[in-house]
Structure 1
Amino acid sequence: MNEPMDPPDADPLAPVLRPVRAGNGFEEALEQILQVVRLGLVAAGERLPAERELAERLGISRVTLREVLKVLQDQGLLESRRGRYGGTFVRPRPDAPVAGAEEELRRRVAGTDIEDVLRFREVLETGAAELCATYGPAFSTSQAERLRSALAATHEAPLAEYRRLDTLLHLTLAELAGSATLTAQYAAVRAGVNDLLDCIPLLVRNLEHSQRQHTALVGAVLDGDVDAAREIAREHCGGTAALLRGFLA
């Protein structure tokens, strides 16, 4: 009788690494590699797959992948080594002082259902965008200028002010949707989102991507393109959600 053959070694990264969606490639790739690190799928001191393989598995360019890896190196999670045996390696877990900061992070997000917050935010954001675009072509000159000014303020914002002005832009969209209840609910959920965002770093690549989405969203609203406004808002929420899941989940 033939002995059963041992199954081939399973790929431990297969449950996590998958092709990302085109709209939020950077954010979703960052989320997935963060999961690989946080789940210990590549042990501390071990090397990640080669850049070419990672890029192919994620369905992104090597330029985007390098930006993702640079962010994680800056956060102290990965390190790059040169030479024949070089590559990108997972760094050991931090020592006590930083570990204390991580404990504080866990305390701050404890009791928060991150998925619930993110889903409710998406419902409100996409609803507000759709309503705004419905009424956008009929906005008064002052309403349209108010929206353009809120957008311009985010483009000109220094990093320290960005999150506040980003919030004001989204609140402006909610208000212009014409529902006081929606605006109040959005203000409440956005406060919760900002508490979560304060726990993760500001990433320049993500902010640039968000700004392009903001510009497209405002344009769709003022043009009355309801479908585009809704989809841009959904994609925008998805990018933020990917970062929060990656860093906090």
Structure 2
Amino acid sequence: MSAGEALFRPVRAGNAFEETVERLLQAVRLGVVGAGERLPAERELAERLGVSRVTLREAIRALADAGYVESRRGRYGGTFVNEVLPVPPSPTRERDPGALEDTLALRHVLETGAAELAAARSLSPADRRHLTGTLAEACTTSIDDYRRRDSRLHLAIAEVTGSASLTSALADVRMRVNQLLDEIPLLEPNLEHSNAQHEAIVDAILAGDPAAARGAMAEHVEGTASLLRGFLE
């Protein structure tokens, strides 16, 4: 299997936009599609990735906004990799080569466990108001304040588990995740998708369905992981 075949294989349905961005970024950053070269035609690429053309266009638009590709019209048009690729912002501190996967693994365990535990508890009316209130704030906030509201919702889920130790551990890993997220652009389709996933997570918790809450959270954090791997690895 060639590198192009490996990268342009079908993505999983749960995080189609995020994984499409990841695959395209990998193809560009690894030189599978070199500077100045054209990506496969939209129809072909959508079929190979197993995504809708709408999802593919959103992913390409996100990469264009981030400075990786440009779309050209006309007979010889298409989506082309820019001759000069953007330089990611320098992290505030040198990152250990394994730090990204270490953070993502820890986040997955803590976040999915917190969602499952929250759904298994008998929540008080105050707990329920706390979850619905922070969810509403995350879904309606401006893009400039999104990261803070997003973090607050995830902490609220940990808080309603009743475990102070879990809440503290999740707060620590969230700080690490936010430092990584600050190094990549905010993509509006991802924020819309994240809000829908947030609603699914909170709905499952409020319904007292631990398996559904864990599954919804796993899908959510893996979407973020796909973007981080795509931009930072």
Normalising by the residue count of structure 2, what TM-score does the alignment of the two structures yield? 0.95
What does 1:51-130 align with in structure 2 at a 5 Å threshold? 51-94=42-85, 99=87, 102=88, 104-105=90-91, 108=93, 110-111=95-96, 113-130=99-116
In structure 1, distance between residues paired with 2:43 and 2:35? 21
The percent identity for this pair of structures is 55
- Matched with 1:6 is none
- Count of residue pairs the alignment pairs up: 232
- Matched with 1:163 is 147
- Matched with 1:18 is 9
1:139 CA displacement: 1.4
Please say if residues 38 and 81 of structure 2, whose CA atoms lie closer than 8 Å, have aligned partners that are also in contact. yes
- Matched with 1:175 is 159
Deviations 1:15-46 (A, max 9, x none): 22211111100000100000000001111111
Deviations 1:35-78 (A, max 9, x none): 00000111111111000111011100011101110111111110
In structure 1, distance between residues paired with 2:49 and 2:100? 24
- Matched with 1:195 is 179
Task: State the SS of the aligned residue for 1:23.
Answer: coil
In structure 2, distance between residues paired with 1:215 and 1:119? 23
1:131 counterpart = 2:117: yes
In structure 2, distance between residues paired with 1:168 and 1:158? 14
Deviations 1:99-140 (A, max 9, x none): 4xx3624x64522610110011000000000000001xx211
What does 1:148-159 align with in structure 2 at a 5 Å threshold? 148-159=132-143
Structure 1 segments (4+ residues) deviating >6 Å: none
Deviations 1:178-219 (A, max 9, x none): 211111111100000000001111111000001011111111
1:185 counterpart = 2:169: yes
Equivalent residue for 1:242, pick from 223, 226, 232: 226
* Greater gyration radius: 1
- Matched with 1:215 is 199
Amino acid at match of 2:202: V
In structure 2, distance between residues paired with 1:226 and 1:11? 41
In structure 1, distance between residues paired with 2:94 and 2:124? 41
Task: State the SS of the aligned residue for 1:183.
Answer: helix
In the alignment, structure 1 segments of 5+ residues that lack a partner are 1-9
Give the RMSD, CA atoms, in angstroms: 1.4
Amino acid at match of 1:118: L
Please say if residues 68 and 81 of structure 2, whose CA atoms lie closer than 8 Å, have aligned partners that are also in contact. yes
Amino acid at match of 2:232: L
Task: State the SS of the aligned residue for 1:88.
Answer: strand
Task: State the SS of the aligned residue for 2:79.
Answer: strand
Please say if residues 109 and 196 of structure 1, whose CA atoms lie closer than 8 Å, have aligned partners that are also in contact. no
Normalising by the residue count of structure 1, what TM-score does the alignment of the two structures yield? 0.90
1:222 CA displacement: 0.7
